[in-house]
Structure 1
Amino acid sequence: MPAKTELSFTLQWIVATFSGFLLSLLLIEIGEKSDIGVLQAIIGGLTVAISQSLILRQPMLSLKWVLSTILGWVVITAMGVGAVGWIVPTTQQLPTRILSGLIYGTIGGFGIGFAQWLAIYQPVPLAWRWIFITAASWAVAIPIGSAVGVILRQFTQLFLGEVVGLAITWLLVAVLTGINAYKILFK
């Protein structure tokens, strides 16, 4: 991998992750948990994983990253957690959204982080940290994004507020994982 500074890598990671989410919006529709199935999780996870893999720039690691990321999204969706980055809670009650976002974010982030760990554990000595960083990132991002989404939806009476909330979720996940990805992968 060509030498990158930590700031350069982090910014590229943020842009890649968030762009992958935006691209996924062209391919799948945001919905409630029952509306988003395994196929949508595969498509969404694939768009984000490919975007992130372009930043990794190591062919074997990039391929493993894409496959493991898709595996993570499939598993958490199939086990009932849902494709957390593309689902909107059915409740409009803010406290319930925050609590459920914390729970589902932690579980979903742990599942995705564990699956991605499978791609990086051999070449990266402290790769186990990625599992907890991803879980914590989603646990923070989903409640914040969900709260913003429900507030915007109630204020504007438009579902677009929920989409903005999900975008904020993904931006926070991109920032929180990006800050730590360089430290784990390349130090």
Structure 2
Amino acid sequence: MPNPPLFAKYPLKFLLLWIFATFGGFVVSLFWVEIGEQSEIGAISAAVGGLAIALPQSLILRDTIFTLKWILFTPIAWVILTILGVGAVGWIVPNSELLPLRLLYSVTSGIVGGFGIGTAQWLAIRQPKSWAWQWILVNSLTWALAIPIGSTVGFLLHRLTQLFVGEILGLAITWLIVAILTGINAYQLFKGH
């Protein structure tokens, strides 16, 4: 019987590594992906951003996923979302100046984006895993929660300071929430499998 993945023995270590990998991937992506409104982020930027997230995550999950599929399918999902008009979820700022519309857009793009990303990553989970479909749900709900919170913070900071950096801080909060929630759920779903 094979040994369980290392992180199954150390949940806090796994969570911290996952947060570092996911949030760190976002920070690293900022060297190549410029934060902007939906129409300003193209497919190439979405692919680079997705790759910056997928690479470190795949190192952590390498015992439970098909690493190459995770690395390929994750950026492909972001590219497809961008081409379909949803945008590069996690790198775009809603262009609405009305907070209620921004929240509605944020929840909608979070559900759709999370579903797309979760589905792509689900394809990389070693099958058969009866729980694998839950990864899609986890991503949809996580992004549907994280984007409105980060977007609201970004909106308020931008209004208060009149600096676009407020929006970037809002996206950073979005990514931190995504990293924490997906990390907790990844541990629960992948432990011992």
TM-score (norm 2): 0.92
Mapped partners of 2:100, 2:55: distance in 1 = 35
Alignment match, 1:11: 16
Residue 27 (str. 1) matches residue 38 (str. 2): no
Mapping 1:36-185, distance limit 5 Å: 36-58=41-63, 61-122=66-127, 124-185=129-190
Mapped partners of 2:46, 2:157: distance in 1 = 25
Q: Is the 8 A contact 2:65 2:126 kept in 1?
A: no
TM-score (norm 1): 0.95
Superimposed CA distance per residue, residues 127-162 of structure 1 (whole angstroms, 9 cap, x where no aligned partner): 100000000000000000000001000000000000
Number of aligned residues? 187
Superimposed CA distance per residue, residues 33-91 of structure 1 (whole angstroms, 9 cap, x where no aligned partner): 11101100000000011111121234962222111111211111111101011001111
Q: Unaligned 5+ residue runs, structure 1?
A: none
Q: Is the 8 A contact 1:124 1:185 kept in 2?
A: no
Q: Unaligned 5+ residue runs, structure 2?
A: none
Superimposed CA distance per residue, residues 66-123 of structure 1 (whole angstroms, 9 cap, x where no aligned partner): 1111121111111110101100111121111111100110000000000100000515
Range moving further from structure 2, 67-76 or 167-176? 67-76
The percent identity for this pair of structures is 56
Mapped partners of 1:67, 1:124: distance in 2 = 20
Q: Is the 8 A contact 2:64 2:190 kept in 1?
A: no
Mapped partners of 2:98, 2:77: distance in 1 = 29
Mapped partners of 2:40, 2:166: distance in 1 = 18
**Match 2:6 to one of 2, 6, 19:** 2
Instruction: Report the alpha carbon displacement of residue 186 of structure 1 after superposing the two structures with TM.
Output: 2.4
Q: Give me the CA root mean square deviation.
A: 1.5
